[in-house]
Amino acid sequence: MKFTVLYGTESGNSEFIAQDLVDHLAGEGFDAELGDLQSTDPSSIDAATGPYLIVCSTHGEGELPHTAIPFLAALEEQAPDLSGVRYAMFGLGDTFYAETYSQGSEIIDRKLTELGAQRVGDYGRHDASSIDDGTELALAWVPGVIAELQAQPA
C-alpha cells in the first residue's frame, strides 16, 4: 500500500505532523510520499496514488489555511470524479475558537466526499489549547486508519 500524505498549513504544524506520519509509515514498511496541498493538482488524485492522509489546520474564522485555498478552488473548478479514492483526515485547530473549532479540514473533507471519495478511519483532531502533542496523537490515530484500509482492500 502506498500512502500520499498531504498537508495544508499556515504556520507549519500540519507539515511537521505530516512529515512525522511519512517517517512512521516508512518505518512500518509502507511507501509514503509527502505533498503540500499548495502544489497538488486535483487531477493527480486517484486511487492509484492513494490512499491519502490529509493533515490540515484551520485559520481565519473556521477557514482553510491560505496555502490550501487554491487546492479547494481547483477541486471545485475541476470537480473530478473521485470514486475509488480513499482518504483519512487529521484536522488541526484550537478550542479557543469554540464556534469554528477544526472546521478548516472539514471544508476539504466535505468536498472530497461530495466528489465521491471515501473517508476511512476516525476523524483525527489536534487541539492547540490542549497539552497533547500533535504528532503523538497522529501516530496513535493512524493504526486505526491502516487497519480499516487493510480490512477493506481497494
Ligand X SMILES: Cc1cc2nc3c(=O)[nH]c(=O)nc-3n(C[C@H](O)[C@H](O)[C@H](O)COP(=O)(O)O)c2cc1C
Looking at the Cβ atoms of 19 and 49, the one nearer to ligand X is 19
CA nearest to 122, candidates 95, 105, 144: 144
Q: Which residues pair with 31 in a beta bridge?
A: 2
d(CA 91, CA 127): 9
Q: What's the grid cell of residue 134? A: 500533535
Q: What is the CA radius of gyration of the chain?
A: 14
124 touching ligand X, by CB under 6 A: no
Instruction: Name the residue whose CB lies closest to ligand X.
Output: 93
The minimum distance between CB 47 and ligand X, in angstroms, equals 27
Provide the CB-side half-sphere exposure for 43 (13 A, CA): 2
The minimum distance between CB 11 and ligand X, in angstroms, equals 3
Looking at the Cβ atoms of 60 and 144, the one nearer to ligand X is 60
Residue 6, H or E segment: strand 2-8
Binding track over 92-121 against ligand X, x by CB under 6 A: xxx--x--xxx-------------------
51 touching ligand X, by CB under 6 A: no
- The single-letter code of the amino acid at 22 is V
Residues 10-49 that bind ligand X (CB under 6 A): 10-14
Question: Residues in the site for ligand X, rule: CB under 6 A?
Answer: 9-14, 57-62, 65, 92-94, 97, 100-102, 128
